[in-house]
Structure 1
Amino acid sequence: MSVSVVIPCYRSARTLPVLLARLMPVLAGLSVRHEVILVVDGSPDDTWETAVELARGTEGVRALHMSRNYGQHNALIAGIREAEFEVVVTMDDDLQHPPEQIPLLLAALEGDRLDLVYGVAHQEEHGFLRSLASQSVKAGMAGALGVRTARTISAFRAFRARLRDGFEGLAGPHVCIDVALSWATTRVGSVKVHMMERDHGRSNYTPRLLVRHAVNMLLGYSTAPLRAASYLGFLIGVVGLLLGAAVLWHFAAGDTTVAGFTTVASMIAIFSSAQLIAIGVLGEYVGRIHGGGMGRPTYVVSERVGPSAVLDLPRQPAGAGAPVRAGVGSGSDER
């Protein structure tokens, strides 16, 4: 088994040297061919400079510099497409995912029973609101997107590199690696691992951003919102029929009193709200179709540091159908 470790990096200048100092002995102890790919996602601090120093001074480490901040999942797609070895491990850059737990993920992949393994914390390491938002996102993936294993999903994962063939045509600014992996396999498992507290700072995934991520997944990978709008319209229609029947019943009974202004205004507001919700959902889908037609890239790699045969391959636009081995931009490749 050969292993590529992909680490998306953002505001991690302080943690990367510590992470690599712990990670490289673990990979060496596995006695397998390995590489580490640091994907710096447009970080505003000195993360890129730190990654360059590590790539130049550590054998088997490469660094990719995104031209701007595209988001964690976009950075992961970039690193996964650059990976050369047969198993890909993804982990965070904040030391919450202990490198010493990687052998547990790889051991679960041995044999042919599983293609994808998630590392699940023995105990949730986030606060109440953050954990609630995270669980809500996973529940939405399980229900609306049909990802049966969504409740065990985490950013600490190991999978066979061949799974990327299932999403080689994935393009556009809104991507979700876990949904893409679910397209390629159903042989998914999980193992319990010990997660650590963040070394410093706080997570960029606030409850608000998690909700936004959930909306992106629903609109980008599911038609559930359209069905929900249809169900809402049907429900409002039933309410209207019941109200009409009630009015006719009172009229037949001799009660010809005209309903008050408050009742009429409330019903108009309800029907108008349902219409606007349905129009809004349709507008979101049309907007995403329009955005996709503009050809916005999933990512653009501006610089690469580190020796690799992959760097000698022809350049292709990031976001094209074929697996991207090189980004678009005026950056340089350093050996």
Structure 2
Amino acid sequence: MTQRPRVSVVIPVWNGKESLPELRARLAKALDASTAAYELLFVDDGSVDGSFALIETLARDHGTVRGISLLRNYGQHAALLAGVRHARYEIVVTMDDDLQHRPEDVPALIQALDDDDVDLVYGVSKNDEHGLFRNVASRITKASMASAVGQDMARAATAFRAFRRELRAAFEGASDPFVSLDVLLSWATTRIAVRETAMAPRKHGRSGYTFRALVRHALNMLTGYSLVPLRLVTTMGFGLALFGVIVLAFVLIRYFVSGSTIPGFPFLASIVALFAGAQLFALGVLGEYLGRMHFRSMQRPAYAIRKVVGDRREGEAPDAADR
């Protein structure tokens, strides 16, 4: 970069109290030498271990620390959205609170924005620190995201990102309770790059992303941002109709050629069960879309903020210039 950037680092926190002091110290060391100014925005997503009390202490002791406390646990992506909307500086970095994303890799992600002339950079690790089921679920989630956004690059998406703040303009009014930050970012740009980073072993606690949670997130993306399930149902319906025509032709040909028939009840029962199952599946998919339309019509917010601490007055919302 021709001049050192100003950077906002957004970190969603969920029961991450033990890792926060080290995370802040390592980020400060990495960013002091590589940025003109920076802020660390810790977004507490309904922690029950006293994380926000520690964030308040860090904000009092360090002028670069700001904190946001959400009213309850809304999920990682909702917490990220809250932090991104409060970010003041032109480059925004997101990372986890568990020290698996190395703070020392943040300057390289920021530099890649200019080196590759892109708007969004993902830090991708080749070494996996998760179990088999978590990795499988992660791949399902990324495949779902690629289908939702129509970009194969989405398969490289991770929680370790650096992007230009102006991308926020594409999702200013987004308030869907089933939010995905990566999908929102894909609305703003297709200029995306990846950088290889290291994944450190987890030091404290355990991940809130279980196999079940990741699969649920994948389904949220497919039904919330994609027409793939509806197209799948359409294709399935066409395939079953074609299958029915073929079976009918087979029965008629067999009857006219050899005079034999297929035993009635077992054959009829199997065909009815097949088509009834397909219809119920199709109704389930349509019901999922209708349910999401219902939730959106209720205008449920993606998140609600209890408190903001840091260099603003406590509870103050970002002004128009900071959006």
**Fold shared by both chains (TM-score > 0.5):** yes
For 2:104 and 2:38, the matched residues in 1 are separated by 15
For 1:257 and 1:116, the matched residues in 2 are separated by 64
For 2:18 and 2:91, the matched residues in 1 are separated by 28
What's 1:328 paired with?
none
**Inter-CA distance 276–70: structure 2 relative to 1 (3 Å threshold):** same
What's 1:188 paired with?
192
The one-character-per-residue Cα deviations of 1:63-91 (angstroms, maximum 9, x if unpaired) are 00000000000000000000000000000
Could you tell me which of 90, 110, 113 is aligned with 2:117? 113
The one-character-per-residue Cα deviations of 1:9-60 (angstroms, maximum 9, x if unpaired) are 0010111111112111211112411111100001122111111111111111
- Helix, strand or coil: the match of 1:96? coil
Shift of 1:211: 0.8
Shift of 1:217: 0.1
What's 2:8 paired with?
4
What's 2:59 paired with?
55
- Helix, strand or coil: the match of 2:255? helix
User: Which sections of structure 2, spanning at least 5 residues, go unmatched?
Assistant: none
- Helix, strand or coil: the match of 1:302? strand
Q: Aligned pair 1:164/2:159, yes or no?
A: no
Could you tell me which of 273, 277, 280 is aligned with 1:273? 277
Could you tell me which of 38, 44, 52 is aligned with 1:40? 44
For 1:55 and 1:131, the matched residues in 2 are separated by 35
Could you tell me which of 203, 206, 221 is aligned with 1:217? 221
Q: Aligned pair 1:173/2:177, yes or no?
A: yes
**Inter-CA distance 243–122: structure 2 relative to 1 (3 Å threshold):** closer
- Helix, strand or coil: the match of 2:261? coil
- Under a length normalisation based on structure 1, what TM-score does the superposition of the two structures give? 0.91
- Helix, strand or coil: the match of 1:135? helix
Shift of 1:235: 0.7
Q: Which has the higher helix share?
A: 2
Residues 118 and 191 in structure 1, CA contact (< 8 A), matched pair in contact too: yes
Shift of 1:223: 0.8
For 2:165 and 2:123, the matched residues in 1 are separated by 17
Instruction: After superposing the two structures, state which structure 1 stretch, 292-301 or 44-53, moved more.
Output: 44-53
The one-character-per-residue Cα deviations of 1:210-234 (angstroms, maximum 9, x if unpaired) are 1110000000000110111111111
What's 2:306 paired with?
302
Shift of 1:111: 5.5
For 1:238 and 1:132, the matched residues in 2 are separated by 34
Q: Aligned pair 1:18/2:22, yes or no?
A: yes
Shift of 1:259: 2.0
For 2:145 and 2:161, the matched residues in 1 are separated by 17
- Under a length normalisation based on structure 2, what TM-score does the superposition of the two structures give? 0.94
The one-character-per-residue Cα deviations of 1:104-140 (angstroms, maximum 9, x if unpaired) are 1011012571111111113122122211211122122
Shift of 1:254: 4.4
Instruction: After superposing the two structures, state which structure 1 stretch, 131-140 or 240-249, moved more.
Output: 131-140
Residues 65 and 310 in structure 2, CA contact (< 8 A), matched pair in contact too: yes
Residues 116 and 188 in structure 1, CA contact (< 8 A), matched pair in contact too: yes
Residues 139 and 151 in structure 1, CA contact (< 8 A), matched pair in contact too: yes
For 1:266 and 1:323, the matched residues in 2 are separated by 64
The one-character-per-residue Cα deviations of 1:161-216 (angstroms, maximum 9, x if unpaired) are 00011111211210100111111111100111111011122211111111110000
What's 2:268 paired with?
264
Q: Aligned pair 1:74/2:75, yes or no?
A: no
For 2:251 and 2:281, the matched residues in 1 are separated by 27
For 1:38 and 1:163, the matched residues in 2 are separated by 20
Residues 109 and 116 in structure 1, CA contact (< 8 A), matched pair in contact too: yes
- Helix, strand or coil: the match of 2:18? coil
Could you tell me which of 81, 87, 94 is aligned with 1:83? 87
Identity %: 48
- Helix, strand or coil: the match of 1:253? helix
Residues 170 and 188 in structure 2, CA contact (< 8 A), matched pair in contact too: yes
> What code does the residue aligned with 2:149 have?
L
- Helix, strand or coil: the match of 1:201? coil
